[in-house]
């Protein structure tokens, strides 16, 4: 039973998340032989104020 945890910068639409879940589930089926109902995916939306890169918060810009 694969469990996939994904951290994404918030702002993705529900349609984008739906397509992501569908695509990853299909990939698990094809690659691992996992039945779709055994694939668990957790999407954690993270605000830019909680992400940092190159010594700066993503919310400060320039650190893409």
Query: Which candidate in 2, 35, 36, 47 is catalytic?
Result: 2
φ, ψ of residue 34 to 5 degrees: the values are: -75, 130
Q: Is 2 a catalytic residue?
A: yes
Please list the active-site residues: 2
């Amino acid at each position: 039973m694969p469990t996939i945890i994904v951290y994404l910068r918030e702002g993705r639409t529900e349609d984008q998340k739906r397509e992501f879940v569908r695509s990853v589930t299909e990939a698990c089926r094809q690659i691992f032989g996992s039945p779709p109902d055994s694939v668990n995916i957790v999407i954690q939306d993270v605000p830019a104020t909680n992400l940092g890169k190159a010594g700066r918060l993503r919310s400060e810009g320039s650190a893409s």
